[in-house]
Structure 1
Amino acid sequence: MKIIKLIKLIAVNFIVIILFLMLADPLLGLVLEDDPGISREISFKENNPLSFAKVSSYDNNTEIEFVIKQTDEHGFIIGPGDTSEKKIDIVFMGASTVELENVQENKRFPYLSIKNLNDSLNTNFVSRNAGVGGNLLSTTNLLLTTKVVPLHPKYVILSSSLIDMIYLSKNESYWTGSKKYLNRNNPKTETFRGIKNMFFPNLWLQLRKYMGLSNDLEIIKQAKFSPLNKSRILDQYEKQLDVFINTCLIYGIKPILTTDYHVPKLIKANLRKQGVFNDKENQFYLTDLIPSLNNLIENKAKLYDIPLIKLHELIEQNKNFVNRNDGLHLTNTGSEKVSETISDYLIDKFQNEKN
């Protein structure tokens, strides 16, 4: 009985102490004349560092059911057997059309284009794929300043802006809508997140995929903002593009831009099927907004006197280069062709610089 009474006494005292601290905590700022501030964090989407996963193939005409997706310590996607610890020279940035997780690892253009370059010029450039599916340019800029700049690469190649056009068509700006950047820390959430990251970091991500909780397109299409305002959309994007270019230049990194590509008939059918746009909005998006986007990118390259690779000229009339279900994401063949275009451009550029 004495032991039971002692346990009860300890339990009651413990509860009283906890309640006292909970009541006293908000008053500490007044008593100590100090505001400790609110714990918040910037959040962005990235691939898990040092991960090794098997994902479904995206090719139209292949018997290969799965492909490998492997990342380095930074969460950047690497090529087959690439365990190099040398300084990274070239980083590719963008969304899912750069990430290419469903393309064979030896054919993803961020890897293959630089391999072709090295084989041709007998160089040893190290490249990394920092593309992340669903990332907007505003998020890419966060990744640039927090992860890429500290690595001091020589070049950063930016591609994939179509997701920005869809998002800005449905939301007033980068700072509204479903993609939020600033979150207040919740102690309970942080505790569970720490446990998850320590013991099973991939389980929740897979559950989200199967439960449909990470479908960016589904979230975006639910927004009700009118898309038919080209000047507003391009103005929002242009400011973020200026941030990207100037950040690179300030830190001594040479930016390289690419135009965006798609196969109009296929992507039009996909956007209609997904219910993202109605017919009028589809027409605006494909025949007005995207061509204007590529013109903007070309003009920025001229203004800053930086390289530009026109990928849209290669892809738009070649439906076998993209997944027939969406008209956007490259197949193995398409990624190989993009690799050739990028490597040929860089070979000419580097040879001209030597002369």
Structure 2
Amino acid sequence: MTDRTGALSGVLIADFSRVLAAPYATMLLADLGAEVIKVERPGTGDDTRAWGPPHADGEAVYFRSVNRNKRSITLDLADPDDLAAAKALAARADVVVENFRPGTMARYGLGYEDLAAGNPGLVYCSISGFGSGAGAALPGYDLLLQAVGGLMSVTGPAPGEPTKVGVALVDVLTGLHAAVGILSALRHRDATGEGQLIEVSLLGSLLSSMVNQSANHVMAGVVPGILGNRHPSVAPYEVFQAADRPLVIAVGNDRQFAALTEALGLPELAVDERFTTNAQRVAHVAELAELLGERLRTRPADEWFELLTPLGVPCGPVNDLAEAFQLADRLGLAPRVPLGGLDVVRNPIGLTKTPPAYRQPPPKLGEHSDEIRGWLKDTD
């Protein structure tokens, strides 16, 4: 419909998704040059349009956070004419993305088998909470997944106090997995001409993303519990209280531990038989934490950061989000970019030839309906 530049220039994505996991995936692909047409319900649109405060430029920030570089068309799939337009769009698309409950799209003739019959090169990504089998009817909300998927069982201040992560992390991880799947399927299509169905679930994405904790269970039969801010396999790797605020020490090897103890004026700990290896430090983590914590409480967090970082000891204060953005600015990461009169969060992928682009702000509901309908008629 319009000229695009970027690694995915020329790729048309019909985006039937809403909320977070799938819209995050399609935004990342749009940043990389794909043409994303967002199909929304008339009147209300994506649920997150109503998820405020806060608001910016009259729109819920939640919606704006994952919908830049997209065009919006409103279609009522229960209306025959709108359904025909949806099918025409899907027939021309390289990629269809949807996150309705399994079976919903098929009821409208928009399932993978229906669309692939006329568009065999179609890459079709279906995102669900619990898969398309026995869990198809279960609702896929991030907090629910954090609970039943085990993430809350290892997150919290102490045993018996399970705590959710401060963002919808399961949705974000699922969106990343979906984007990888779409890119892989496009690569296969480029080589063979064949499209395929991609299925990504929130539960599967979470279990994979819990990496060592999941592996501990699968390979060693361990059922991990809440460790607060400690690591189950590395020490010292936790939060300590400095004189003014919390400080993280993340020692990953014996050399770093020796440097830490020397800087703290506790060199004897590096040769103490309780702490000479990581396995021994993990076995005696409470004793070690008490000894280190007593010394770390004597100076402010920023002083420890300035002292320990040049010695190769990973450490840093627990920043709030404003401080985190300030750090990124100081390090030259430029985490903000201007778009439509407001700043947005930069896409973190750096590409030297085809970098992400920020072409247009998140669309108003149905902003491009007339334009897209006209284009569909012109290409019938």
| Between structures 1 and 2, the one with greater helix share | 1
| Between structures 1 and 2, the one with greater strand share | 2
TM-score where L is the length of structure 2: 0.27
TM-score where L is the length of structure 1: 0.29
